[in-house]
Amino acid sequence: EKDGHDWFMRKEIFEQPRAVADSLLGRRTRSGALQLDEMRLSDQELRDIDKIIIIAAGTSFYAGMVAKYAIEHWCRIPVEVELSSEFRYRDPILDYSTLVVAISQSGETADTLQAIRHARSQRSKVLAICNTNGSTIPRESDAVIYTHAGPEIGVASTKGFLTQLVACYLLALYLAQVKGTRYGDEITQVMEQLEAVPDQIEAVLGRCEQVYELARTHVGTRSVLFLGRHAGYPVALEGALKLKELAYLHAEGFAAGELKHGPIALVEEGLPVLCVVPPRGRDQLHGKMLSGIQEVRARGAVTICLAEEGDATITPYADVLIPLPRVPVLLQPLVAVVPLQLFACELASAMGHDVDQPRNLAKSVTVE
Rounded least distance, CB 148 to ligand F6R, Å = 15
Of 58 and 279, the one with the shorter C-beta distance to ligand F6R is 58
Stretch that binds ligand F6R, among 9-17, 55-63, 249-257, 303-311 (CB under 6 A): 55-63
Are 169 and 331 a contacting pair, CB within 8 Å?
Answer: yes
Distance, CA of 223 to CA of 221 (rounded, Å): 6
Rounded least distance, CB 131 to ligand F6R, Å = 8
Strands 250-255 and 143-146: unpaired
Rounded least distance, CB 365 to ligand F6R, Å = 5
Beta bridge partners of 145: 129
H-helix or E-strand spanning residue 9: helix 8-14
Residues of span 217-246 touching ligand F6R by CB under 6 A: 241, 245
Stretch that binds ligand F6R, among 24-32, 56-64, 67-75, 202-210 (CB under 6 A): 56-64
Of 247 and 305, the one with the shorter C-beta distance to ligand F6R is 247
Instruction: Give the torsion sign (CA, 277, 252, 334, 10).
Output: positive
180: left (phi over 0), alpha (psi -120 to 50) or beta: left
Residues of span 241-270 touching ligand F6R by CB under 6 A: 241, 245
- Return the number of other C-beta atoms located less than 10 Å from residue 19's C-beta: 25
Distance, CA of 289 to CA of 340 (rounded, Å): 18
Q: Which of 57, 173, 240, 345 binds ligand F6R (CB under 6 A)?
A: 57
Three-state DSSP class for residue 145: strand
Stretch that binds ligand F6R, among 19-27, 53-61, 205-213, 255-263 (CB under 6 A): 53-61
The closest residue (CB) to ligand F6R is: 58
Which residues are CB-neighbours of 327 under 8 A, at least 6 positions away? Answer: 193, 196, 197, 200, 279, 334, 335
Q: Which of 16, 98, 106, 349 binds ligand F6R (CB under 6 A)?
A: 106
The yes or no reply on residue 356 touching ligand F6R (CB under 6 A) is no
Instruction: Give the torsion sign (CA, 82, 84, 85, 90).
Output: positive
Rounded least distance, CB 305 to ligand F6R, Å = 24
Of 39 and 57, the one with the shorter C-beta distance to ligand F6R is 57
H-helix or E-strand spanning residue 250: strand 250-255
Which residues are CB-neighbours of 52 under 8 A, at least 6 positions away? Answer: 71, 77, 78, 79, 80, 98, 99, 100, 101
Positions marked catalytic: 363
The yes or no reply on residue 85 touching ligand F6R (CB under 6 A) is no
The yes or no reply on residue 58 touching ligand F6R (CB under 6 A) is yes
Interface mask toward ligand F6R for 146-185; x: CB under 6 A: ----------xx----------------------------
Q: Which of 16, 23, 85, 109 binds ligand F6R (CB under 6 A)?
A: 109
Stretch that binds ligand F6R, among 13-21, 23-31, 54-62, 265-273 (CB under 6 A): 54-62
The DSSP call for residue 359 is T
Rounded least distance, CB 63 to ligand F6R, Å = 9
* DSSP string across 41-102: S-HHHHHT--EEEEEE-HHHHHHHHHHHHHHHHHH---EEEEEHHHHGGG-----TTEEEEE
Q: Residues interacting with ligand F6R, by CB under 6 A?
A: 57-60, 104-106, 109, 112, 156-157, 241, 245, 364-365
